[in-house]
Chains A and B, each alone.
Chain A
Amino acid sequence: MQGLYVHIPFCVRKCYYCDFYSEGGKLHLLDDYLKALLTEAEQYRGLTFDTLYIGGGTPSILGAAALEQMMRGLSGCLGLSDLEEATIEANPDTASSEFLRAAAASGISRLSIGVQSLNDDELTRSGRLHNATQALKAIDMASGCGFDDISADIIVGLPGQTTKSLENTLCSLSHSAVTHISAYCLSIEQGTEFARHPPSGLTTDEEQAELFELAARYLKENGFVHYEISNFALPGRECRHNLNYWRGGEYLGLGPGAASHLRGRRFKNAPDLQKYIVGPLADECESETLDVESKLAEEAMLRLRLLEEGLDIAELEERYGRNNVGRLLARLTKLTDAGMLVREGKRYRLPPAMVMVSNRVFTEIIN
């Protein structure tokens, strides 16, 4: 299993909470960027991929023509003909029907829409450029364009959010064509607008935990499986590209700020659009190759995020050798004894009560 991630580092404007790498208002660099992207992709000519994920930033900002151009270019040098899944992210304000049709025609099978909330006040206060009506309309349009797999991102703990407003958002989404929901807890990250100007109406950690657990309950009652810490899907509609991350799999990331995991090495491009355009091949800013023990611990930490699938220690022993797994196993046993993990045969899982405090478990697992 090998994934391809393509980063589109453009936005109309940065949202107040966002710390992903993207540039607001630099669309004039789009053509140069696409050229640089293909230069970087050329480096990996011949590699074939099972999943594709176009994320951002705001990929829907590309528009139909640029998207088609980019997809043609990538398919020209990378093996994308047997994709099991191809996702693109879209924001309600830029996802035109023309764009959605072009995406479908380019082989994109899955749409991830940045809904965030269906409460207009919450959306405004977070710096979103769309309202609830536009978000629901985008979902309908996507469905109308033939997308069967539609995911919605929502944020738990937005300024002004209440149990009631969150429930309303969830209710509308579960009655829409959405088949997958990613629910992220708001955290105030350095360098964001929220960090510079802390908003009023923020929730406490306790309130946020309550809200998240409410969301998890609600979605479960409506047929969604809580398959990863922040992700819910109708049966069979999990995101395969992301599943590959959580299973410790390999992937190539293209674009500034994109991370890769290839041939055992993790590396990352510098988050700098200008530099990337000038020299897309000289952009690596971090790299590491983990030893077996750290690799194991990392994979355990990632796999335990998968609440249903969990961590199969027998499978790890097969791949890494029984001797190498010993120390990890001892830690898992200790955590199980403390009630922080549950065990079923050779499979370990994070119990529901530990989801919101899972870092406490993971810090015990890493070296």
Chain B
Amino acid sequence: MNNLRNFCIIAHIDHGKSTLADRILELTGMVRKTSMDQMLDSMDLERERGITIKAKSVRIPYKAGDGGEYILNLIDTPGHVDFNYEVSRSLMACEGAVLLVDATQGVEAQTIANANLALDAGLKIIPAINKIDLPGAMVDDCCLQLYSMLGLSIEDILLVSAKDGTGVIELLEAVVARVPPPSGSADTPLKCLIFDSFYDAYRGVIPHLRIFTGSLKAGDKILIKSTEKIYEVEEVGYFSLGLAQCPMLQAGEVGYAVALIRNAGEIHVGDTVVSSDHPEELAIPGFRMAQSMVYCGVYPIVTSEYGKLGAALEKFKLNDSSIVFEKENSAALGYGYRMGFLGMLHMEIALERLRREYEQDIIATMPSVIYKVFCKNGDILMLDNPSKFPPEGNIGHIEEPIIRTRIIVPSAHIGPCMELADAKRGTLVGIEHPDDRRAILIYDLPLADMITDFYDRLKSVSRGYASMDYELNGYRVGDLVKVDIIVNNGIVDALSYIAPKEGATARGRALIHKLSKTIPKHLFKIPLQAAIGAQVIAREDIFPMRKDVLAKCYGGDITRKRKLLEKQKEGKKKMKMVGFVEVPQEAFLSLMKIED
């Protein structure tokens, strides 16, 4: 066990984590040097977006400079704030973490958030500055930031270029020298942590495990603490570039177990696995179920394909157990599902995967947070769908989820960032000045405002320089109202939204205007209204289509005419019928695209 090192790489997004992992695999001979980059990211979408969505790991045999043979377990962690909980559990599987900072960008919000998570988990941190080969590298500044913002010793900092391999071997040597080997005895009862899982169509859900004490082999019976379900282990192994079967996993090691677990809902990241002979063993503290922060309605464009959508969601859930969904019925859109996600990025990725990998033609409604509605009769309702809100007269008050966000911004852009946070109903909690060029703005901000366009706007007002991180920080009373959107004289429940009373009219008008440009002209006039209760706050009409005709249908080229009509018809197929009105997907997201 003394030759084992379990470590991970943590970094702000795009600071080069995946490239470093690739280079490590290459320099240790795990893979041959190829042009195929970033071995650990296997999903297409991840590559496109440059984000590692699901944690994965790999076991690397390594011969160190001291002549010793070591086993390095590199555990990959997700790099986005939506997956904070997953990150924290991946960290628990390690003893050390490489904290990677882009030399051209410096310490950013998620650098700090991830470093704090690692320190909380008691990990040994190895700070490393990456991309030192780039002309814009500011190595000295980065060192000072690591020192002033995170209290790390400057002499501990390594300099690397993941791209050309400079300093990577030195980094591995530091892992061997500085990260402590795992402790924990193989002779005591089994205790391990589930830090990830994946679904195999033939072998069921396969959890990724970190063994803390005891050992695990085929034939053992295991018990999962949160569900108290018992399974018989069929196979254990570790992660090479694929799965590598082995006779036994022991304390300190990282690996997988196949135990015919059919239902993805039975395996949760952060849960504890013990031996069914010792059910009294305590769970590793800190477990919680993945918590959905953002919800939206998902409806098939063709109403009759509701069943197919359900089947696709079931399959998807096996692959991504952090999504939740339940049946939902909308007066306007028919049957569909309410889906919950860890955050906005998770939502975007999940919906895109549903469309691409599971080939579903869907309409997604405006994302919503969970509101706490205190009714006058004493009921407290947790509502993730504005259309489920009780009539305004029955509501005492509403509380909404608040996040605490840390925004790191160069001093020159503090003004616009603070204006933005104020406009988004933020409360300034504090300002820190880690050095003379940058500030950390700490704000409490309604999650609802955060999920519309806060991040995009922040990037734009700071010319791309600001970075942010957030965590849930309880509930706060909000002066909120429900706004209904009335299309062609019928309320479209899927367009209803919750908004601060202040500015509701201006926002309602802007939304109605946006909708009037998004919904195409029909053969009849379509009145559009926004209303709070019975009070109409905005109205515009979409005037009827007056001209849509192929005039010159002569000359005999009928094929061309027919193809023009077919193209027009294809466009219609992407729209959802709401009453007699065809509504395109963009209309449901209009609210997110309104500039204040």
What is the interface of chain A, defined by CB distance below 8 A to chain B?
A: 5, 20, 55, 182, 184-185, 187, 205-206, 208-210, 212, 229-230, 242, 245-246, 251, 253, 258-261, 266, 268, 286, 288, 298, 301-302, 305, 340, 355-360, 362-363, 366
B566 within 8 A of A: yes
Kindly supply a per-residue 1/0 record for chain B positions 544-570, scoring 1 wherever the CB is within 8 Å of any chain A CB and 0 otherwise: 011111111111111100100110110
Decide if B548 touches A360 in the complex (CB within 8 Å). Answer: yes
Whole-angstrom distance from the CB of B560 to the nearest CB of chain A? 8
Q: Top 5 A-B pairs ranked by shortest CB distance? A: A209-B546, A205-B547, A259-B557, A259-B556, A359-B548
The distance in angstroms between the C-alpha atoms of A261 and B562, with both chains bound, is 14
On whether the beta carbons of A360 and B566 are closer than 8 Å, the reply is no
Within 8 A of A (CB), among B526-560: 543, 545-559
Point out the residues of chain B lying under 8 angstroms from A230, CB to CB: 551-553
**Cβ contact within 8 Å between B551 and A184:** yes
Cα separation A323 to B549 with both chains bound (whole Å): 31
B-chain residues with CB within 8 Å of residue A288 when the two chains form the complex:
559
Instruction: Report the minimum CB–CB distance from B568 to chain A (whole Å).
Output: 5
List A contacts of B572 (CB < 8 A).
363
Interface centre among A230, A251, A305, A363 (most CB of B within 10 A): A363
CB contacts (< 8 Å) of B545 on chain A: these are 205, 357, 360
Partner of B548, one of A210, A212, A286, A358: A358
Is residue B523 contacting chain A, with contact meaning CB distance below 8 A?
Answer: yes
Q: Least Cβ distance of A229 to chain B in Å?
A: 7
A357–B523 alpha-carbon span in the complex (Å): 8
A260 touches B556 (CB 8 A): yes
B557 partner residues in chain A, CB cutoff 8 A: 259, 268
A5, A246, A362 interface centre (most CB from chain B within 10 Å): A362
Considering the chains assembled together, what is the distance between the CA atoms of A362 and B549 in angstroms? 10
Looking across the interface, which residue of chain A has its beta carbon closest to that of B556?
A259
Cα of A214 to Cα of B75 in the assembled complex, Å: 75
* Residue from the list B543, B547, B559 in contact with A357, Cβ < 8 A: B547
A259 to B556, CA, bound (A): 6
Point out the residues of chain A lying under 8 angstroms from B543, CB to CB. Answer: 206
- Give the residue among A229, A246, A286, A359 with the most B Cβ atoms within 10 A: A359
- Establish whether residues A356 and B556, one from each chain, have CB atoms under 8 Å apart when the complex forms: no
Least CB separation from B550: chain A residue: A359
Is there contact, CB below 8 Å, between A357 and B558?
no
Contact B556 A253 (CB under 8 A): yes
**CB-CB < 8 A to A258: which residues of B?**
556
15 pairs, CB–CB < 8 Å, chain A vs chain B: A20-B555, A184-B552, A205-B545, A206-B543, A209-B547, A212-B547, A229-B553, A245-B554, A245-B556, A301-B565, A305-B553, A356-B547, A357-B546, A358-B548, A359-B548
Q: Which residues of B contact A (CB under 8 A)?
A: 523, 543, 545-559, 562, 565-566, 568-569, 572
Q: Check B568–A363 contact: CB distance below 8 A.
A: yes
* With A184-B551, A185-B551 as contacts: A359 and B565 at CB distance below 8 Å: yes
In the complex, chain B residues whose CB is within 8 Å of the CB of A184: 551-552
A sample of 16 more A-B contacts (CB under 8 A), given A206-B547, A209-B547, A230-B551, is: A55-B555, A205-B546, A206-B543, A251-B556, A253-B556, A260-B556, A298-B562, A305-B553, A340-B523, A356-B547, A357-B546, A358-B548, A358-B549, A359-B548, A360-B548, A366-B562
Question: With a CB–CB cut-off of 8 A, which chain A residues contact B562?
Answer: 298, 301, 366
| Shortest Cβ gap from B545 to chain A (Å) | 6
> Which B residues are in CB contact (< 8 Å) with A340?
523
Complex CA distance for A357 and B562, rounded to whole angstroms: 16
Given contacts A229-B553, A363-B565, A366-B565, is CB(A266)–CB(B548) below 8 Å?
no
Question: B546, B549, B555, B559: which contacts A359 (Cβ < 8 A)?
Answer: B549
A208 to B551, CA, bound (A): 12
Bound form: Cα–Cα A356–B559 in Å: 21
CB B364 to nearest CB in A, in angstroms, measures 26
Is B553 touching A356 in the complex (CB atoms < 8 A)? no
Given the known inter-chain contacts A266-B559, A301-B562, A363-B569, please indicate yes or no for A356 contacting B546, CB distance below 8 A. yes
Is B551 within 8 A of A259, CB to CB? Answer: no
Query: How far, in whole Å, are A258 and B565 apart by their CA atoms in the complex?
Result: 21
CA distance A259 to B545 in the complex (A): 31
Contacts of B566 in A (CB 8 A): 366
State in angstroms the CA–CA spacing of A55 and B554 once bound together: 11
Query: With the chains together, A55 CA to B572 CA distance in Å?
Result: 35
Q: How far is the CA of A210 from the CA of B546 in the complex (A)?
A: 9
Least CB distance, B153 to chain A, in whole angstroms: 66
Docked CA distance A5–B556 (Å): 9
* Given A360-B523, A363-B569, A366-B565: A259 in contact with B546 (beta carbons within 8 A): no
**Residue from A185, A246, A366 in contact with B549 in the complex, judged by beta carbons closer than 8 Å:** A185
- A209 / chain B contacts, CB cutoff of 8 Å: 546-547
Distance between Cα atoms of A43 and B547 in the complex (Å)? 42
A246 close to B559 (CB less than 8 A): no
Inter-chain CA distance A209–B566, complex, in Å, is 23
Q: Which residues of B contact A359 (CB under 8 A)?
A: 548-550, 565, 568
Q: How far is the CB of A85 from chain B (nearest CB, A)?
A: 14
Query: Once bound together, how far apart are the Cα atoms of A206 and B542, in whole Å?
Result: 13
CA distance A232 to B447 in the complex (A): 63
| Chain B, residue nearest A362 (CB) | B565
Contacting residues, chain A, for B568 (C-beta < 8 A): 359, 363
A206 to B546, CA, bound (A): 6
Whole-angstrom distance between the alpha carbons of A35 and B508 in the complex?
A: 69
Distance between Cα atoms of A245 and B556 in the complex (Å) = 6
| CB-CB nearest in chain A for B553 | A305
